[in-house]
Amino acid sequence: MMDEIQYAAAVNQIGYPINGQKTAIFTEKTSEFHIEEEGTKKIVYRGRTSQPAYDQSSGSKVRRADFSELAKPGTYVVVDDEGNRSTPFALEERPYRELHKGLLKAFYYLRCGVTLDEKYAGEWGHESCHTKKGAVHGEEGLYLDGNGGWHDAGDYGKYVVAGAKAVADLLLAYEMYPNAFGESIPLPESDQVMPDVLHECKVELDFLFKMQDQRSGGVYHKLTTRHFPGLSVMPEDDLAELVFSPISATATACYAAIMAYASRVYRSYDPSYADRCLHSAEYAWEWLEKHPKAGGFKNPPDITTGEYGDDCITDEKYWAAAELYHTTSLEKYHTAFQQYSKESFPKCELGWADVGGYGTISYLRKGKTDENQALLSSLQQELILEAERLLQICEKDGYGISLEEKDYVRGSNMGLMNRAMILLFAMEWSSKPEYEKAAAQHLHYLLGQNTLHISYVTGFGTHSVMNPHHRPSVGDHVDAPVPGMVAGGPNRNLNDEIMERTLKGKPAAASYIDHEDSYAGNEITIYWNSPAVFVVSYFNQ
């Protein structure tokens, strides 16, 4: 466990773009501050903090310092009026280049079924794993190939709904901010033709193909062992039988959506692959049409791995219809989308359970036709209203982010980055500069500008997560954790034993412990990394 460290001010420990907003947050009674060059200690900026304001989520009074006027490249520290210093940070044109590559490289480290050799994995490599065929639950004697894809999280399960969200975030980042992906990570597949982000997404898409039942078009919900292995078990030592859990409507709809989306993105690189994606998406849609009353997924009695259950599947079908319509322009998908849009569910959420936001964004990015202007305008307005709601929360929050006290739950950093995504999406239809500034504050928070002065990305920042709930990081005998992985973050519900034992009475934003046993606060997942990639992509152009 990392010792608690107190710094003068909370800052983004990686840095700030030269022309961007630059802030620091004080919790001490300081009214003046200055910025020094690290090393020379030359003072390059002086300023005054704001008046103190009580921040409900952190339970403390905070003062903001704005030094956006400072625009000279370099490495600096913030110093308060008593001489206390912050962690160092950089001012650069593109301070997030290495972070961006690191967040993407994390998906490579999560690859299943292949050897991660030293050339690309460094000291965090391991042997190939989970290569045996999996048993299909409820169908005795049927075994299928499920090799490939990404391990979902701190465990080694592979889940369709989780994979679909993660790939969607990465594809959106690539489509909207292609200039962010000019550099190679590198990966074994790097070829200077197709961007590495698309090579990495293809690893998961190739696995997802194997999750579709070729007899029906339905999609198996997940591929896992029946129970989680021990926390120190390395991937190649997890030898229990793999099991394909039964087909679910949620997995099938998410599969249809992401495959339809992928077919558009990969069309210019590999038309035959794009065709395959689209055909499999349409086949999955046929299953949905034939099973209109299919509900959410529940674990079979003999399986205790992550359930990814979901009582509402309308949002998944809404997303699938949007992507299929966006790709094919066929009226049957448009009609279905219009019908689902009339039902009540969140249409601007980007979680693995509430995926309506992906349907909305896809439909808006498809653009106007003669017959859809009213619905298009309505969804645009709904997105802008959500961004405005988030902005109002940011204005009240001491750290300038859109999480209220109730939002510090398991995976709060996913909520943080999802909301930053919404703010950045809103900029596509409104040029309001406050959206960009608020999104930047969300990134600053993730990278250390928070009440705990911790960067929630392993390997990035002076004071970053060291003990994630991630089996290879625990079992590989390497001191440093696998880098580039976003930890779940503060969780006021204290849903695991170590949090319950050590964090009772802590404010919501301080309800976090950097401990490997804290699965409810310190686990990593593909869909906590993916929205972070999207947000950093915007600021890495």
- List the one residue out of 245, 214, 251, 297 whose CA is nearest residue 135: 245
> What angle, 0 to 180 degrees and rounded to 10, lies between the N-to-C axes of helices 331-341 and 314-328?
150
Strand-pair category, 32-37 with 23-26: unpaired
For CA atoms 279, 284, 287, 293, give the dihedral sign. Answer: negative
Q: Under 8 Å CB-to-CB from 319, ≥6 apart: which residues?
A: 253, 254, 257, 355, 356, 358, 359, 362
3-state secondary structure of 23: strand
Q: Are 66 and 22 in contact (CB under 8 A)?
A: yes
- List the one residue out of 214, 231, 211 whose CA is nearest residue 161: 211
Q: Where are the beta strands (DSSP E) in 316-463?
A: none
Six token digits for residue 444:
């600053």
Q: Are 480 and 489 in contact (CB under 8 A)?
A: no
CA distance 292 to 289: 6
Q: Are 30 and 107 in contact (CB under 8 A)?
A: no
CA distance 272 to 76: 51
Known catalytic residues are: 469, 514, 523
List alpha helices for 40-184, DSSP H. Answer: 97-109, 118-121, 160-176
- List the one residue out of 66, 78, 21, 58 whose CA is nearest residue 397: 58
Q: Which amino acid makes up residue 61?
A: K
Strand-pair category, 143-144 with 134-136: antiparallel
Neighbours of 531 (CB within 10 A): 30
CA distance 413 to 523: 11
In angstroms, what is the C-alpha Rg of the chain?
23
